Structure 1
Amino acid sequence: MIARHPYAIALVAGGISATGFAPLNLWPLTILMLALWMALVIQAGSRKAAFFSGWLFGVGHFIIGLNWIAKAFTFQAAMPEWLGYIAVVLLSLYLAVYPALAALGGWWIGKARPLLLVIALAGAWIITEWWRSWVFSGFIWNPLGSVTLPLGQMAGLGMFIGTYGLSAILIAGAGGLWLVCRKQWWSALPLVLIFAGLALWPHPPASPVSPDQPRITVVQPNIGQQDKWKAGYEDQNLAKLAELTLRADDDPRIIFWPEAAIPDYLETGYPARYYYGRPPEFVRQQLGMLMKPGDMLVLGALKLEFDEAEGRAVGARNSVFAMNAEHELIGRYDKSHLVPYGEYLPMRPVLSALGLSRLAPGDFDFWPGPGARSLDLGGFGKAGLQVCYEIIFSGQVVDRDNRPDFIFNPSNDAWFGSWGPPQHLAQARLRAIEEGLPVIRSTPTGISAVIDANGTVRFHVPMGEAGRIDSRLPEAKASTLFARYGNWLSLGLALILLLSAIAIRLRAR
């Protein structure tokens, strides 16, 4: 059957393999489908056939894994809802090129030798995932390494080899299973034993948090996307945030609010017409009333950019502001990695003429910030800021010259359907493991969470619920190997794997 219908099987296997990601976490199916795919790749009779097998596997893999993207189109009245499903398919057709290239590399180096194909495919997968993280601005949602999170200690290796290295381990484990099916016992044994040992070794128990760590409050107001920007909802939405923020005790704390938590502008100096009768001094005073002496509020809000000659706004920044209890803004971070079609419209003159617009409301595009920065919060330490989907980019989330004490990831996952938020949370956990830093997430509708430096979710508020988390900030680890060298480690592993496969092949000749 495999020999008769290899392309159809590759497409179906790719779709089933995506069930290993959150929220389903059916990781055994991912391993089985990867093993089946390797059987398809090795029987390919040409480079073209190997590439096409990998491409079809990728099409199925991404259509299922990224199905939540279609939900975003339901919030934009200017676009028909059905366009969302077409967008998922078109994006998947492009993203599938990367597993296709991995399959081509594995087939070409392996040359019908199963063990060599496994080794070469693992190395090639690292390189193609890394490419996917930056080509055309990058979209590395759901790296294969995310599947390892439920597998005992395996994900913990991310602090040494990064997420792309974890993807290679999953490929190698599936390869071991495939070699067992081929009864190549001596080739399979090392791969199977290492994979099984890592998967069965239990994750270390969560260590207690020191009482000397700062107090934090994470707020999730459960404000849906349909209500977020509605005129007249400003006070109602602020009341939801306020209700979940107020407290009785006086211990200083950091209060975390979501991305774009309020529609008001916090900075002074704009032309009066842009404040809509709510000047920034008034807004900051309202926010200050929710705080006790010594508190710090870290929240998402927008910043405008102006053409000074014409006195009009020409752009915006998706920003995070830190404000103290005296109503003073003490720092700001501007989102760097913007979402195409969400925060800016690529090729605007062409696409605007076709009637297309951004999914997020607004008359002009967002401008990118300078990149990862650490924000000094005084006695609370230093915060690394990553807004929404910036957190998915392995090796790009921390200022390595000014290492923070934790990462704050305000987000708006209300766009993401039911599959997107748990997948987003999983990728935030991988950043915590890689960098050895706790990650704090605050979102309007979920999943808000406190993640420790081992990637363990200590506390969370489920999707679709209003709630708050009161806890101590988990402690950071010493700088991990990955925190010092980043994806050079993953790429080094890829190079070792590929050179090893080539050397074994040449020696066999």
Structure 2
Amino acid sequence: MLYVLYAFIAGAVSAFAFEPVAWWPLMLVAIAALCELIDRTKSLRRSLALGFAFGFGQFAISLNWIATSFTYQSNMPAWLGWVAVIVLSLYLALYPAIAAGLAWRFGRDDRVVLVCVLGGGWAITEWLRGSMFTGFPWNPAAAALAPTPLIGVTPLVGTYGMSALVVLLGGAIWLEYYKKWLPLVVILAIAVFLWVLPSSAVPPDPLTVRNVRIVQPNIGQQDKWRPGFEEEAARRLATLSGPPTGVPRLLLWPEAAVTEPLEDARTDGHQAMALFERTRAASLLGPSDVLLTGGIAIGSNDGVRVDSAANSIFAIAPGGRVIGRYDKAHLVPYGEYLPMRPLLSAIGLSRLAPGDFDFTPGPGPRTIDLGGQWGKVGFALCYEIIFSGHVVDWQDRPGFIFNPSNDAWFGRWGPPQHLAQARLRAAEEGLPVLRATPTGISAVVDARGNVVKQIGWRQAGVIDAVLPPAANAPPLFARFGNSIPIFWAFVLIAAGIVLGRKRR
């Protein structure tokens, strides 16, 4: 039982490796401690308990921002937010438990084998965590090292492959304690090789100067949907956007920057109101400008009742003309729709986001050609950016990704963690990512995952920048997706099993 407590403490310590604390060496130390605990345990059941306790400690601390989101929904008590954090963490902890169980099962007699299987198992279980039951891959182990040069590994092996590398590094540090120095040398050599290999993928200068302006109006969740606040929001967006400059620019607003529908299939004045909102926004555009903004689209079959609603991104040209629309595909359970609505609504639960109806999911990744000098753009709306391998239409590769989000209800820890994962997507896909959020952190991320410019949390401001170029060619991960890390994860596990049998 004492070992389980130690595993919980190690997992809780590892949570501080993620943003906003970002003491990334803690992740390696925590993994090393987990390896020692697994090595000392005497049964599969206890090893599963160790992995479960480690995961529970990590998730319960690092996902504290979820509790904050409940404070913005007056229909539910704030304490329910911490219940949600605990329940979710109990579920998510099952995945590191499986990895720890595999490591003990095949590596209980050989420490090198234990580390290999733990690394491979960690990658596979993180992938499963991002896939099962709509998926929640928030804070993979790789995210802890996103601010380090190791982010250069992700174009080749993806986020889950990088997570395996993180676990292998932590395990190699543990092996060093037992005077097994060779694994650490080999893993570091592989890491350096993978980091150097893709370093020349992005040209130093863009061929075409494309000016972008990202607007962060600092509109909190407590004000965003307040009746009558839409005029103040429009004023802030207009002031920060500024008048046309005569130089073509791409103007970027956050998720649901306009709270009134920008497209509405209902008659009786609703379509006219939507046109008014688009025209008001487009009044800030010059003749060659384009606005990308989050907004709501309302569907109606009879022109009277609301039959569907989409959380969308609109591409708006001068005059309010819509030249493209992306509908969010990966909706947030309890945020944008209420699962088992008849049952849960009957006991008083509701969506965290305001509204009486659930959003309808879109078809998935889509590329829209903005024309002119802007070219093609892909979209990841809010937390869609955390899904490795699911943010780009591989049949129609864009030149950059727009990631508007509303992190205003994510507390202090959520926004920087969200940005770290956006950096991983940029590096994986070899595409720059432009983030626009109402309260931060808005940013320009280049195709290597480096933050070029950003606006801090709870600040109003703009980012004026030149759109970074995409990679010369799609990186290996952008071509083959998560088949790469899953393949190498199974290779690691298989190699560990074979090595263990030969030594026995």
Q: TM-score, length-normalised on structure 2?
A: 0.96
Q: Say if 1:439 and 1:287 are closer, same or farther in 2 by CA, change over 3 A.
A: same
Q: Say if 1:389 and 1:271 are closer, same or farther in 2 by CA, change over 3 A.
A: same
The corresponding residue for 1:10 is 7
Letter of the 2:353 counterpart: A
The corresponding residue for 2:53 is 56
Shift of 1:289: 1.4
Q: Which runs of 5+ in 2 are unaligned?
A: none
Q: Say if 1:287 and 1:160 are closer, same or farther in 2 by CA, change over 3 A.
A: same
The corresponding residue for 2:336 is 343
Shift of 1:469: 1.0
Shift of 1:274: 4.7
Secondary structure of the residue that 2:71 maps to in structure 1? helix
Q: Say if 1:131 and 1:117 are closer, same or farther in 2 by CA, change over 3 A.
A: same
Alignment of 1:30-49 (within 5 A): 30-49=27-46
Quick one: distance in 2 between partners of 1:25 and 1:381?
A: 36
- RMSD between aligned alpha carbons? 2.1
The corresponding residue for 2:306 is 313
User: In the alignment, is the contact (CA less than 8 A) between 2:283 and 2:319 conserved in 1?
Assistant: no
The corresponding residue for 1:254 is 250
Shift of 1:439: 0.3
Shift of 1:181: 1.1
The corresponding residue for 1:21 is 18
Letter of the 2:321 counterpart: E
* Counterpart among 218, 241, 250 of residue 222 in structure 1: 218
**1:447 matches 2:444:** no
The corresponding residue for 1:213 is 209
Q: Say if 1:327 and 1:163 are closer, same or farther in 2 by CA, change over 3 A.
A: same
* Counterpart among 417, 426, 432 of residue 426 in structure 2: 432
The corresponding residue for 2:162 is 166
Aligned residue-pair number: 502
The corresponding residue for 2:136 is 139
* Counterpart among 379, 388, 393 of residue 394 in structure 1: 388
**1:462 matches 2:459:** no
Quick one: distance in 1 between partners of 2:6 and 2:202?
A: 42
* Counterpart among 172, 181, 187 of residue 185 in structure 1: 181
The corresponding residue for 1:412 is 406
Quick one: distance in 2 between partners of 1:163 and 1:85?
A: 28
User: In the alignment, is the contact (CA less than 8 A) between 2:316 and 2:322 conserved in 1?
Assistant: yes
Letter of the 1:67 counterpart: N
Quick one: distance in 1 between partners of 2:222 and 2:34?
A: 42
Quick one: distance in 1 between partners of 2:196 and 2:177?
A: 21
The corresponding residue for 1:94 is 91
The corresponding residue for 2:367 is 374
Secondary structure of the residue that 1:378 maps to in structure 2? coil
Shift of 1:287: 1.5
Alignment of 1:221-370 (within 5 A): 221-247=217-243, 249-267=245-263, 269-272=265-268, 274=270, 279-308=273-302, 311-370=304-363
Shift of 1:475: 0.4
The corresponding residue for 1:67 is 64
**1:481 matches 2:472:** no
Shift of 1:205: 13
Shift of 1:87: 0.8
Greater Cα offset, 429-438 or 174-183: 174-183
The corresponding residue for 1:124 is 121
User: In the alignment, is the contact (CA less than 8 A) between 1:173 and 1:195 conserved in 2?
Assistant: no
Shift of 1:192: 5.2
**1:506 matches 2:496:** no
Letter of the 2:234 counterpart: L
Q: Say if 1:327 and 1:112 are closer, same or farther in 2 by CA, change over 3 A.
A: same
Secondary structure of the residue that 1:352 maps to in structure 2? helix
